[in-house]
Structure 1
């Protein structure tokens, strides 16, 4: 039976008012000056665009009618937030985001349930992670609960764009860029925070099917003391070359390795999980620890919490190496391997190309039992089929 969590808030309750239920909300507010959702200015577009069908949508290529913008400057502080018609940004050619990658972002989704209500999934975790990324890039802080309320109002305004489909959702992309007009490498004196919305279907063009991975030490995604555990644009731009090479080798994603012992870290843009019989003979769900290299994924955290709640097997955050994986495959101890993230939710792994050899990962029926169970549980929560305090109504 699916795990049922505490009842969600009443229909009229905006997301920030759920702070007493989700511990992640407790540290969204801070003492730094911030914009206020109550001051939100609204400019509606003159003509609404038709909403597309989910089938055939390429991820992140279609956008809704409106966007949210908030400007900041060192001298003037945060300006009044505003929702306006979707359109191009005007940036100075010397803007620090263009030259020195002073850019960070988040990714979350809005889901339409069978009851026709629109829900956000654990959005306070995204706000907390965004504040953490902003601090790492020396960007100005803000009240995460206020941004979350602004996002809720934006989604409510464009809620007709939330697909009426169990395979579709509305992707929400908050972005924060430095707009310092200077070629000096320094903390920005001005910045722009904006949010855009995009209706999406399946993240992968092949749909909900297993992926193949290229594991190679030529490229390194992140290192300790770097920025690999923050959601910033530079982490992704530097991965494109390796992703291109993976495709050339007949694989869909990169299995990122680190260190002389070839530690398994992430899968493309996903966290990775290995369901196996450990060296100690225990049935275990293992994932790499948050040691400064791994992005703290919201789906990752949710899977770990669900697995702990179920209590059906051991759950471990531990170092996993290619030697561990190869030996476990040779011994027949691997049950499943899958990636997890906001875009794809859960994605099974069927093959790893490593040192010229194809490592075949057990993948029963293209979507093995445990991956299927996590996918079903998470999507049941996201689409409101299970009442949960992990979601809040728009």
Structure 2
């Protein structure tokens, strides 16, 4: 185990990648993230690959990790790819005490021809840079970080599964590493990426979920940090999820305010499809008002829905809407389907929402229609196919970022 200030610096042998590109977006006196200075140390004890059907999400990790240190007044050090190993942090490190931590979730895919691709990695790095800046950690050039991650994925090529539906899950993370109990902006930080080969979220096909919509807990609020992917946003959600699970529900549907505005479902964005009161088919999702995460999958679905469903007369809307609107649509036979959207599952169909009725309401169930004998509605299935086609290279798209060997 090595200290962050010495993280992996003593590793040998190394390979330095030469280039003349300068990616620094910092002030001239500070060093930016520079992929051309990357140093690689390969593991001397490579792991054997697991059978793809035995993979469990987040349990198996690759041979290497990517790391880049940052120090105030100096900027970013050279990127390093080294054998996967523990970090050594002082008990007074600020990440432990004040939550200086943010992260991303993204995937690398293998196409039918064997090429490796990342799905919209620039969006993930844009978001991570904003999350980092929100908690007084360093920002960075997203394009430079994407190039570093691409080099890392290329080195871990053998861990990207070959079977359709499988992928390499990537976890870029930023933490404050200064040793201090004082509350203030950290003077040092560490960016690192680890990777885990994963199977399909639904190995035997879609499984629609049941949700508990409660007014007891609040995930995020205007002016808060619910729109950033911070570590501190997730731990408080576990207890409500456990309580919902005891009552037979898969996830929480997070509501906000006395109006019961729909925000997120679990750790995903929510899409609701209905025939609105004007008689028009509409796909609606909550707006980016600071209370929901700006999901990469969310943004992708909105763009694809406008492209495909818009031609069929659908209205694609980002606006505030309430759980009562969903209940009314169900009662009036206008509700068509609902699904969560996120990196892990892409889409997660919903079959039932148990609503506590709000502050003065009556508890009731909202049943979401599903085709007979199926676990997903037609829109969720179409969205999943559109996304999968781009991720696995069937559909040519600028969203698919090629990883160079």
The alignment's TM-score, normalised by the length of structure 1, stands at: 0.90
User: Which position in structure 2 is the counterpart of 1:360?
Assistant: 367
User: Which position in structure 1 is the counterpart of 2:396?
Assistant: 387
Q: State the distance in 2 between where 1:337 and 1:98 align.
A: 38
User: Which position in structure 2 is the counterpart of 1:213?
Assistant: 211
- Which of 63, 66, 90 aligns to 2:64? It is 66
User: Which position in structure 2 is the counterpart of 1:156?
Assistant: 154
Q: Tell whether the 8 Å contact from 2:66 to 2:149 is kept in structure 1 after alignment.
A: yes
Q: State the distance in 1 between where 2:206 and 2:334 align.
A: 25
The alignment's TM-score, normalised by the length of structure 2, stands at: 0.88
Structure 2 regions of 5+ residues with no counterpart?
1-22, 357-362
Q: Tell whether the 8 Å contact from 1:202 to 1:208 is kept in structure 2 after alignment.
A: no
User: Which position in structure 2 is the counterpart of 1:119?
Assistant: 117
Q: Tell whether the 8 Å contact from 2:176 to 2:189 is kept in structure 1 after alignment.
A: yes
Q: Tell whether the 8 Å contact from 1:382 to 1:391 is kept in structure 2 after alignment.
A: yes
Residue 29 of structure 1: how far off its partner (Å): 7.2
- Residues 369, 29 of structure 1: CA spacing in aligned structure 2 closer, same or farther, 3 A cutoff? farther
Q: Tell whether the 8 Å contact from 1:29 to 1:145 is kept in structure 2 after alignment.
A: no
The 5 A counterparts of 1:341-380 are 341-355=342-356, 356-364=363-371, 365-380=374-389
Q: State the distance in 1 between where 2:195 and 2:333 align.
A: 44
Structure 1 regions of 5+ residues with no counterpart?
1-27
**1:135-193 deviations in Å (ceiling 9; x for gaps):** 10111122111111110011000011111111211001100000111111110001000
Q: State the distance in 2 between where 1:264 and 1:308 align.
A: 21
Q: State the distance in 2 between where 1:294 and 1:75 align.
A: 34
The 5 A counterparts of 1:184-203 are 184-203=182-201
Q: State the distance in 1 between where 2:50 and 2:240 align.
A: 32
User: Which position in structure 1 is the counterpart of 2:9?
Assistant: none
Residue 387 of structure 1: how far off its partner (Å): 1.3
- Larger mean CA deviation between 244-253 and 49-58 belongs to 49-58
User: Which position in structure 1 is the counterpart of 2:248?
Assistant: 250
How many pairs are equivalent? 367
Q: State the distance in 2 between where 1:184 and 1:76 align.
A: 21
Q: Tell whether the 8 Å contact from 1:350 to 1:361 is kept in structure 2 after alignment.
A: yes
Q: Tell whether the 8 Å contact from 2:130 to 2:139 is kept in structure 1 after alignment.
A: no
Q: State the distance in 2 between where 1:100 and 1:208 align.
A: 39
User: Which position in structure 2 is the counterpart of 1:17?
Assistant: none
Residue 133 of structure 1: how far off its partner (Å): 0.6
**1:258-300 deviations in Å (ceiling 9; x for gaps):** 0010111001011000010112221100000000101000010
Q: Which has the larger radius of gyration?
A: 2
Residue 57 of structure 1: how far off its partner (Å): 2.2
- Residues 292, 234 of structure 1: CA spacing in aligned structure 2 closer, same or farther, 3 A cutoff? same
Q: State the distance in 2 between where 1:135 and 1:36 align.
A: 19
Q: State the distance in 2 between where 1:108 and 1:388 align.
A: 17
The 5 A counterparts of 1:1-394 are 30-32=25-27, 33-203=31-201, 208-310=206-308, 311=310, 312=312, 313-355=314-356, 356-364=363-371, 365-394=374-403
The SS at the match of 2:242 is helix
Q: State the distance in 2 between where 1:120 and 1:29 align.
A: 23
Q: Tell whether the 8 Å contact from 2:254 to 2:266 is kept in structure 1 after alignment.
A: yes
Query: What is the aligned-residue RMSD (CA, Å)?
Result: 1.5
Residue 238 of structure 1: how far off its partner (Å): 1.0
Q: Tell whether the 8 Å contact from 1:112 to 1:383 is kept in structure 2 after alignment.
A: yes
Q: Tell whether the 8 Å contact from 2:24 to 2:34 is kept in structure 1 after alignment.
A: no
Q: State the distance in 1 between where 2:114 and 2:397 align.
A: 16
Q: Tell whether the 8 Å contact from 2:271 to 2:284 is kept in structure 1 after alignment.
A: yes
Q: State the distance in 2 between where 1:306 and 1:206 align.
A: 25
